[in-house]
Structure 1
């Protein structure tokens, strides 16, 4: 696939334990039809994700592969960022990733110290695109002033209970992707009456409705986590669910708002 074609739905691979499962899960997801896989250094599963990619038999050029480094605990010093980037590639077993993110603007992160290493990875062909994750609009503005490479994507938690309207509009205005992690709110969306009403209308699952709502926004992709073939296939089928304006308005009217992922550190706990 052209490297600038981001599949609207990908596989998220975070788990607290049993990281080895992602070898089989990634191979299964690619067999089901996914062509976008997202991981991170701090997930401690890049090696298994890479093995799953190779096990799948799908050509590397046909899979959009993303990873992240620079977190509140990795790497330890700004000068270690190039080594951390190389470590991601080594564990994945690839020469380059399609998208390399700054994971959190926390810990060692500073625009001036960290972003030049990402620019260097971009210039060297180790990262075909550069992204940021969990930034505020103000931090995005500051990062874009320093970053030489085009900002391709910004990854944040987004779902019907956290619509991220400001960041979606920012992505549309500046022509980059917003990639939604936890697009099902860790299951919190399943029992929301408005979601269930739309699901019944289409004989769909609440998960499919939520994913269809997320990806109905221009410039927005989603990376739901799934470990079973059934759920993977159901998630992928959400791309075929076309919500009408009435459905979108109903979901937009949900009053409940909350965040599932709390970084618990720094001024970026927003």
Structure 2
């Protein structure tokens, strides 16, 4: 099945192409969501300290009937942390919350603290390098298998590439039909950095869009499946989120191909 396929990161670690996002799923409910997702085949889960549900995600993994080595777990450094010691503590605290020995993928959640996003010009280059230094040490210590970034622009990625010793494995950014940052995607891919697409379904706001309905009908799929397949054909890992079992199953059924012509047309759409 297409959704069971993996991509290979630039450090040879394999990452599931279709994973489950957990943003806005509260800590009390996320354990059941993770277990439900695992039961229908999901093997990758994306969370963050700032989501407030790492403990529940860890419990879901612990109580699932699969080996830990079969699960790919991603979490992120809190955006307010922009120093070395704080990053070291954040990594150890995350491992404690998960009650796990290692994290598969650890990301800098944002180049700027949330309170500064779209408000200040400071990209915190030095602070992000302090994050990165601690994260590189975590890789060498076996606490983390791969490291990357999230919400990074080209200048932010360059800062890490020019000053770090480990290349970012991924850049997790928003990508969906109607929002395709082609320049950033192509740049990262040219540096062997995989793009992870968060909010690939645009929070469901396009499910009733008549244009997308026509394309979905052409391929005999749902609008959600069309949107996920679009991101996959861009070369992205996708992180759809749902707590509904039937939708979990549907989001993994992506064994169809959008034509080159239709991909070009879909890239041009703006909503």
Tell me how far apart the structure 2 counterparts of residues 200 and 213 of structure 1 sit (CA, whole Å).
15
1:183-237 superposed Cα distances (whole Å, 9 cap, x missing partner): 011112213333211111122110000000000113x111011101111001011
TM-score by length of 2: 0.87
Deviating beyond 3 angstroms after TM superposition, the runs of 4 or more aligned structure 1 residues are 75-78
Tell me how far apart the structure 1 counterparts of residues 129 and 14 of structure 2 sit (CA, whole Å).
29
Corresponding residue of 1:250: 265
Residue in structure 2 matching 1:20, options 19, 22, 28: 28
- Tell me if 1:11 matches 2:20: yes
- Tell me if 1:80 matches 2:86: yes
Deviation, 1:113, is 2.3
Q: Give the stretch that moved more between structures: 152-161 or 76-85.
A: 76-85
Tell me how far apart the structure 2 counterparts of residues 221 and 7 of structure 1 sit (CA, whole Å).
7
1:108-144 superposed Cα distances (whole Å, 9 cap, x missing partner): 7723322111111111111100010001101100111
| 1:1-270 map, 5 Å | 4-15=13-24, 18-72=26-80, 75=81, 78-107=84-113, 110-218=127-235, 220-238=236-254, 240-256=255-271
Deviation, 1:76, is 7.5
Q: Is the 8 A contact 2:27 2:54 kept in 1?
A: no
Tell me how far apart the structure 2 counterparts of residues 117 and 245 of structure 1 sit (CA, whole Å).
42
SS of 2:229 mapped into structure 1 = helix
TM-score by length of 1: 0.88
Deviation, 1:77, is 5.2
SS of 2:101 mapped into structure 1 = coil
CA RMSD across the alignment: 1.8
Corresponding residue of 1:261: none
Structure 1 residues 250 and 191, CA gap change in structure 2 (3 angstroms): farther
Q: Give the stretch that moved more between structures: 193-202 or 128-137.
A: 193-202
SS of 1:151 mapped into structure 2 = coil
SS of 1:129 mapped into structure 2 = strand
Tell me how far apart the structure 1 counterparts of residues 158 and 167 of structure 2 sit (CA, whole Å).
13
Structure 2: unaligned runs, 5 residues or longer: 1-5, 114-123
Tell me how far apart the structure 2 counterparts of residues 76 and 200 of structure 1 sit (CA, whole Å).
47
Q: Is the 8 A contact 2:83 2:130 kept in 1?
A: no
1:77-111 superposed Cα distances (whole Å, 9 cap, x missing partner): 54211011111111111111110000011137723
Q: Is the 8 A contact 1:189 1:210 kept in 2?
A: no
Q: Give the stretch that moved more between structures: 223-232 or 192-201.
A: 192-201
Deviation, 1:245, is 1.7
Structure 1: unaligned runs, 5 residues or longer: 257-270
Corresponding residue of 1:266: none
